[in-house]
């Protein structure tokens, strides 16, 4: 069950965190993983870890927010791999602030990566999938797609767009491409540790406890837990699932 033998899986933003966990798990399930990351060195670290564990992984440096970059990247992947079976749109950035604390530059930057990046990568992947019999697209949304979060105005805007793009793709390609999204609550990744260290120096443990307490189960999620859900949704065992938003939230939505 849940094997991805010889499937070509493209994972964006797989240089660290959730993307790296998804890439590693897919490789363990025998997929041929292609890592797309703006930070080529980070992507290579993930690929090296996969290869050292006996898996297959390649790296293509690319900026998901740049149309020419995405077109070049996906053309190179098709030329090398001959097809794309799975696309995980994981690359994204965050922002903290209300509408009053969000500049136009902040808004544009969030939109370019989190919304336009998903659009560009999905648009590039869909024709390749259709030429080779179909495929699966999995987008990384957030519980911010489903509920209001304080101080996350621009971020929530982008993740709401990811949710609606997910459902639109699912409807338009119903019998050929499945498309779902995952909606995590807080997940403990190196990004979180770096953010806390930069903005709450000397209070790191206190802030991490606060972030953990937000989830009713009393902790943040892990990247591996998100990866396991991603594996299910991208596997043949989920063939009856499309157009859905899957929360993985430690009980946030039921309290």
Q: Catalytic residue positions? A: 155
**In whole angstroms, how large is the CA radius of gyration of the chain?**
17
The string of DSSP codes covering 100-154 is TT--HHHHHHHIIIIIIHHHHHHHHHHHHHHHTT-EEEEEE--GGGTS--TTBHH
- Cα three-residue angle 32-236-146, rounded to 5 degrees: 95
Distance, CA of 105 to CA of 93 (rounded, Å):
14
The pair of structure tokens assigned to 121 is: 């990568």
Residues ≥6 apart with Cβ < 8 Å to 54: none
Residues ≥6 apart with Cβ < 8 Å to 81: 8, 32, 34
Please state the separation of Cα 144 from the chain's center in Å.
14
> How far, in Å, are 47, 100, 119, 130, 152 from residue 104 at the CA level?
36, 10, 21, 37, 15
For residue 70, the 8-state DSSP code is H
């Amino acid at each position: 069950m849940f094997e991805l033998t010889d499937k070509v899986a493209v994972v964006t933003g797989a240089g660290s965190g959730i993307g790296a966990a998804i890439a590693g798990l897919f490789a363990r399930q025998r997929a041929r993983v292609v890592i797309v990351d703006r930070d080529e060195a980070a992507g290579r670290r993930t690929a090296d870890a996969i290869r050292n564990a006996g898996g297959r992984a390649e790296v293509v440096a690319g900026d998901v927010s740049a149309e020419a970059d995405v077109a070049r990247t996906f053309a190179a992947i098709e030329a090398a791999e001959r097809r794309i079976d799975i696309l995980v749109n994981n690359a994204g950035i965050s922002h903290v602030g209300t509408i009053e604390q969000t500049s136009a530059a902040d808004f544009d930057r969030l939109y370019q990566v989190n919304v336009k990046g998903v659009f560009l990568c999905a648009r590039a992947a869909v024709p390749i999938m259709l030429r080779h019999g179909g495929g699966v697209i999995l987008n990384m949304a957030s519980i911010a797609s489903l509920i209001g979060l304080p101080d996350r105005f621009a971020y929530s805007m982008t993740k709401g767009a990811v949710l609606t793009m997910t459902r639109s793709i699912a409807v338009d390609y119903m019998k050929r491409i499945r498309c779902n999204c995952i909606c995590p609550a807080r997940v403990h990744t190196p990004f979180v540790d770096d953010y806390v260290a930069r903005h709450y120096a000397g209070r790191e443990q206190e802030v991490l406890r606060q972030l953990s307490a937000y989830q009713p189960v009393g902790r943040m999620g892990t990247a591996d837990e998100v990866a396991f859900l991603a594996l299910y949704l991208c596997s043949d065992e989920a063939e009856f699932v499309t157009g859905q938003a899957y929360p993985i939230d430690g009980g946030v939505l039921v309290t």
